[in-house]
Structure 1
Amino acid sequence: MHLLPMTDAHFAWLLGQSGVDDAPHLPEGGIASRDILDLLRGVAAEVGGEAAWLMVVEGEAVGIVSIKKRDAQGRWDIGYGVAPEREGRGHATAAVAALKRIARAHGARGLTAETLLDSGASPSVLRRNGFVCIGQFDHPEDGMVDQWVVEWTA
């Protein structure tokens, strides 16, 4: 698993708006819907800096992991998704592990994530990466979600 830092040019490429030099291959059907890609592009621009990464395995982009926001405690709130054609192969688990290393190297104090109550494999991805569910809250857009956190000392 290699995390390739995404620029706006990568989002444009995924949306079919332009090409990118040395772009990885894409699975049939792509890695996310246009709506999701547009949303992630906007969030990455808002967060600024390195905020989204392509999950690349053997020259193929299989998903995206990203920072949704950075909080006042020095934690990064993250999200991730894997192409439907590539789910169930451990890619999300490996990507979150790699993002933990990047976060530590950039001085983050931990990561947070939210999962829908019926979110399939996501709770396992987070548990395998040391996250603990600290409760639930009513998200304004998604309804009830579980809140997850993993923290470390500097």
Structure 2
Amino acid sequence: MKLVAASDADFAWMIRGDGTSEHGLALPPGGVDEVPHLEMLRGVARRLRSDGIPLWMIVAGDEVVGLCSYKDAPTPDGRVEIGYGIAATRRRRGHATEAVAALLDAARTDPDVRTVLADTAVDNVASQRVLVKNGFRRSGTRTDPVDGELVVWRIDLSAEPSA
């Protein structure tokens, strides 16, 4: 598994859902996600790029199996929230666990990041397992006006032992 920064051209390709990308990558059956969600993420990617932050394609072999990123630039106190999603036809294969590990590796090398946060739906046990496997601890709940009740997860990188 590797992470490849997604360009605007990559999003156009994922939205079209055809052929091979400029990187020589393929899409899984059914694509990476629904078109409206990809269009929303394309806007997020543009905003993140303006801050020098990539939104990454999660690549297994020569196939884009998902997307992941910071949701925004780190806050002044060093917090950053991550988001990730795996194509429906490529779930339950460890891709999300590997992608979150790669996001954490990137966060550990970023001097502006001390704490990484993530949210999961209360009933999304698979995503909760991904976070636990990567060292996150449940830190509470919150209610989102769109997504409803969410579990909040965190990992404090400043509390990790030095290498």
Distance 1:51 1:146 in 2: 25
1:51 aligned partner: 54
Compared with structure 1, are the counterparts of its residues 78 and 85 closer, same or farther at alpha carbon in structure 2 (3 Å cutoff)?
A: same
**Which residue, out of 77, 82, 89, partners 1:78?**
82
Amino acid at match of 1:78: I
**For the Cα contact (< 8 Å) 2:11–2:38, is it kept in 1?**
yes
Distance 1:11 1:50 in 2: 16
Offset of residue 17 of structure 1: 8.7
**For the Cα contact (< 8 Å) 2:10–2:22, is it kept in 1?**
no
1:35 aligned partner: 36
TM-score by length of 1: 0.91
TM-score by length of 2: 0.87
**For the Cα contact (< 8 Å) 1:44–1:67, is it kept in 2?**
no
1:8 aligned partner: 8
2:110 aligned partner: 106
1:25 aligned partner: 26
Long gaps (5+) in structure 1: none
**For the Cα contact (< 8 Å) 1:24–1:61, is it kept in 2?**
yes
Distance 1:112 1:51 in 2: 17
Compared with structure 1, are the counterparts of its residues 130 and 23 closer, same or farther at alpha carbon in structure 2 (3 Å cutoff)?
A: same
Identical aligned residues as a percent = 40
1:144 aligned partner: 149
1:69 aligned partner: 72
**Which residue, out of 123, 130, 133, partners 1:128?**
133
Long gaps (5+) in structure 2: none
Amino acid at match of 1:34: V
